[in-house]
Amino acid sequence: AQSVAQPEDQVNVAEGNPLTVKCTYSVSGNPYLFWYVQYPNRGLQFLLKYITGDNLVKGSYGFEAEFNKSQTSFHLKKPSALVSDSALYFCAVRPPEAAGNKLTFGGGTRVLVKP
C-alpha cells in the first residue's frame, strides 16, 4: 500500500523568503504525484503534478516541485513567499495502475507567511 509523509505540521516563513514544503512517499512503481492547496473553508485547489519527464515541475502561482526518485521525495518550493500563500498544503500520490482518482494524501502542512 502507498503512503505519503509530510514531516512538518507547520512551516513559518517571512514574506519574500524562499518557501519549501516537504513530501516523501512510499509506493511501488512510478507514481503520479500531486500538490494541492486549501484555503480556509474552501475545497482543495490543484497546484501541480508530476507524471513523467523533467524532474522539475512548474505549477500555479509561482510554485514548483522537484521529483527525486532516489530519495522518494516531491518537495514543493516557491522562491519568494507571499502572505497570500498562507494556507494548508497537501501532497498526494496515485499509482498509475490504480483505477479511478484514488489519491493517497499526506497529513498536510500549514504554511504561515508573516509580513
Catalog residues that contact other proteins under the rule CB under 8 A. 4, 6, 9, 32, 34, 36, 41-46, 49, 51, 90, 92, 94, 96-108
Between CA 89 and CA 39 the distance in angstroms is 9
Q: How far is the CB of 115 from other proteins (least distance, A)?
A: 27
50-87 exposure pattern, b = at least 16 Cβ within 10 A, e = fewer = beeeeeebebeeebbbbbeeeebbbbbbbeebeeebbb
Least Å distance, CB 107 to other proteins, is: 5
Q: Give 69 or 102: the residue with its C-beta nearer to other proteins.
A: 102
Q: Which is closer to other proteins, CB of 15 or CB of 110?
A: 110
Nearer to other proteins, 49 or 75 (CB): 49
Longest Cα–Cα distance of the chain, Å, equals 44
